[in-house]
Amino acid sequence: MTQLSQSNSETFAAASLAAKSGTEVRLEGVTKDFGLAKPAVDDITLRIEPGEFMTLLGPSGSGKTTTLNLIAGFEVLTKGQVLLNGQDVGALPPHKRNLGMLFQNYALFPHMSVYDNVAYPLRERKTAKDEIQRRVGEVLELVQLVGRDKHLPKQLSGGQQQRVALARAIVFNPKVLLLDEPLGALDRNLRGALQLEIRRIHREVGSTFVFVTHDQDEAMNLSDRIALFNEGEIEQVGAPEELYARPETLFTAKFLGDSNVFHLGKVSPIDNAVAWEDERWAVDANTVSPKVASDRGSALVVRPEGVSVSKNRSEVPPDANAVKATILDIEYLGSYRTLVLALGDARLNGRARIDAQSSDFSLGEEVVAWWRPYRQRLVAE
Amino acid sequence: MTQLSLPRRAPNLSWLLLVPAVALMAGVVYVPLIQSAVRSFGDPPSLQEYADLFSDGITMTVFWRTLGSAVVVTLVTLVLGYPYAYMMTRASARVRGLLMTVVLVPFWTSAMARNFAWLILLERNGPVDRIFQFFGIHDVVFYQTTTGVTIAMTQVMLPFMVLPLYSALAGIDRKLLLAAQGLGSTPVKAFWKVFWPLSKVGVMSGLVLVFTLSMGFYITPALLGSPQNSMIAQLISQRATQLLDFAAAGALGTFVLIVTLVLVGMANSQGGSISAISVVVNTDSPKGNG
């Protein structure tokens, strides 16, 4: 009972801390032109809530890191505004923006001990000596590196070095923490462990986190919301579930997770059915992306877990959309099986996820793939 | 239990690779060095020659003049060379190649040609003198003075400062400067707290190289200086070749060698803890991160 109330009060304390220390980051028409064919960042507008964990996700060269550098002040804006809590910081140099930054290669000062590295931002802020000692002790505890303060960075493992960098980036309670692919240099297991740690630290310090990655799983795992970048523009912003379940464009659907994709060409968004080869499929109005327009190509996408497979048409429910398919391969993945399919006459690559136990399919078999209309999504190409 | 016979390993003879160089160094450098050191104690052995160094009234004057000029040359090459090496790390590959060539041209021209060029530049009524005369300044004399020698030596020594500096500076990860700025340092402070300490190895090796070379420099002082302003190397040469006083020349040579070794040893003990770091800087810097 006492334990419960204590943990409750801790939660409250953490919540009030979060409300206090989070900073809103607003990008208004942000543009960075390096003089190439297309601006690296092209007129981006994005509002990041105070205390939010926002991930800038995208393939390499999509402008996500440039956007982060524009927020940090390492790059100069070509056009637009960067606002922190409503204050335009576009003209401020990096050291006046009070932001924490975590780099992929840690960027620890090799000639300084762990302690001196972590104390660096506090000394730059003329913090009193005993206060520095207290803060560094606290934050080394937070990243679980107590007792390593006298080590030089080269005496630590990669994971430990990144924890030191994390400690150094949060020790001065920055308004916003910018993370530039901080886990990219680590191996898979370590990455998983540090993802958990970053989430925990985000909850505990309550600062706004802006995280850059090209790894969709990492983005899905960590973020409150994801801004998906494509060729210098934001393709879609939303919670991971939203981006996965309700992609607006084919790019989003393909970047996050697997999809079965049927290219439809131009369709009218108000039709309640679409045609593909000889099939006619019902379209549910609330599965149509707002970006679908009659002057732009569209595609119908269905996630593998939304697709069922039957031996023949008579087994398909009458309200389902169906397409003939050939089984090319069967992958056993422990908790489920994936059927690799050739869909329709075009023999499009497709996938269906089925029960791990069901084993009544064989390679080369002609089957029918089907799904309920609510499992599909009509997106813009 | 059967005894397994291991294949006989051929004796490792790779140390033989050292023999030619060691033999050359021993024969040409160390044996004569020891000989001249032994000879400096005279026959019968005494410390008389060394006592004379301090009491003859000339040697110490020349020694301090040489040391002073070497210190000035070393510091001026550092002040000139550091920004140059720094800009070389920042420049594009093309400009870097150009800057590198500019540094190396003095290496490719003969030492005599370079020093005669200085002779012509600095002589009475030479170009430099005439520029000063043009402004009505007649009492500045570079030819056959320590100042003129020091100026010419600075130019000759500059590559020996720039090259080790460049290789040290090029190994420093520039992300560290961004990190320091992100953590609240002005660009200037980021340089002094992060970049400068990491460049100390290069600074130390540049200082040691230029200083030791300047201490024993012969040709520039011989051509540009005057007997009244001679440097240590000239004094040694004079005692050995003109006065045939090998004991005195040996004592002077040994004395300068010891002073130089002590100073270099002090510099190395300063740089010792830093050179360990430079290895880390060079190996940890990111390789082709997109």
We report the CATH number of the domain holding residue B131 as 1.10.3720.10
Instruction: Tell me if B7 is assigned to some domain.
Output: no
Q: Do B176 and A107 touch (CB under 8 A)?
A: yes
Fold exhibited by the domain A20-242: Rossmann fold (3.40.50)
Is B174 touching A (CB cutoff 8 A)?
Answer: no
ipTM of the modeled complex:
0.76
Residue B16 in contact with partner chain A when CB distance is under 8 A: no
Report the pLDDT value the prediction gives residue A269, as an integer from 0 to 100: 67
- Which residues of A are less than 8 Å from B184 in CB distance? 95, 98, 121, 124-125, 172
User: For residue range A303-345, what is the model confidence (pLDDT) as tens digits?
Assistant: 999 999 998 888 889 899 999 999 999 988 888 889 999 998 8
Chain A nearest-CA residue for B173: A107
Q: Is residue B60 part of a domain?
A: yes
Pick A95's closest partner by Cβ from B181, B284, B286.
B181
Q: What is the pTM of this model?
A: 0.76
Which residues in A lie closer than 8 A to residue B289 (C-beta atoms)?
Answer: 104-105
d(CA A376, CA A292): 14
Per-residue pLDDT of chain A (381 residues; tens, 9 = 90+): 344 444 444 444 444 444 446 899 999 999 999 988 899 999 999 999 999 999 999 999 899 999 999 999 999 999 999 999 999 999 999 999 989 999 888 899 999 999 999 999 999 999 999 999 999 999 999 888 888 889 999 999 988 999 999 999 999 988 899 999 998 878 888 888 889 889 988 988 889 999 999 999 999 999 999 999 999 999 999 999 999 999 999 999 999 988 999 998 887 767 788 888 888 898 888 888 888 887 888 999 999 999 999 988 888 898 999 999 999 999 888 888 899 999 988 888 899 988 877 767 889 999 999 999 999 999 998
| Interface mutation vs chain A, best among B172, B175, B176, B183, most A CBs within 10 Å | B183
Whether residues A109 and B286 touch (CB distance < 8 A) is answered with no
The amino acid present at A106, given as its one-letter code, is Y
Give me the count of residues in chain B. 290
Buried b (16+ CB within 10 A) or exposed e, A156-195: beebbbbbbbbbbbbbbbbbbbbbbbbbbbbeeebbeebb
Q: Is B114 within a domain?
A: yes
AA letter at B238: Q
A54 in helix, strand or coil? strand
Comma-separated ranges of CATH 3.40.50.300 domains in chain A: 20-242
Secondary structure letter of residue A249 according to DSSP: B
Structure tokens at B70: 């070497």
Q: Would you tell me how many other CB atoms lie within 10 Å of the CB of residue B4?
A: 5
Is B130 an 8 Å CB contact of chain A?
Answer: no
Name residues 249-268 of chain B within 8 A of A (Cβ): none
Would B209 be classed as within a structural domain? Answer: yes
Residues of chain A with CATH 2.40.50.140: 246-380
B173 — contact with chain A (CB < 8 Å)?
A: yes
Is residue B117 a part of any domain in this protein? yes
How far, in whole angstroms, is CA A24 from its chain's centroid?
19
Choose the closest CB to A110 out of B190, B277, B286. B277
What do you get for the CA distance between the two ends of chain B, in Å?
60
CA neighbours closer than 13 Å in the CB half-sphere of residue B90: 6
Residues in chain A whose Cβ is within 8 Å of chain B:
60, 72, 74, 93-95, 98-101, 103-105, 107, 109-111, 120-121, 124-125, 152-154, 168-169, 172, 178
* Distance between CA atoms of residues A360 and B275, nearest Å: 68
What is the number of structural domains in chain B? 1
Confidence of residue B55 (pLDDT cuts 50, 70, 90): confident
Contacts of B196-200 with C-beta under 8 Å, sequence gap 24+, read: B197/A111, B197/B274, B198/A110, B198/A111, B198/B172, B198/B277, B198/B278, B198/B281, B199/B82, B199/B165, B199/B168, B199/B169, B199/B172, B200/B271, B200/B274
- Strands (DSSP E) found in chain A: 25-32, 41-48, 53-57, 79-84, 87-88, 99-102, 176-180, 208-213, 225-230, 233-238, 260-266, 273-276, 279-282, 297-302, 308-310, 321-332, 336-343, 348-355, 366-371, 376-380
Q: Say what the pLDDT of residue A13 is.
A: 40
**A-contacting residues in B 195-234 (Cβ below 8 Å):** 197-198
Are the Cβ atoms of A93 and B284 closer than 8 angstroms? no
Choose the CATH number for A246-380 among 3.40.50.2300, 2.60.210.10, 2.40.50.140, 2.60.120.10. 2.40.50.140
Does the beta carbon of B181 lie under 8 angstroms from any beta carbon of chain A? Answer: yes
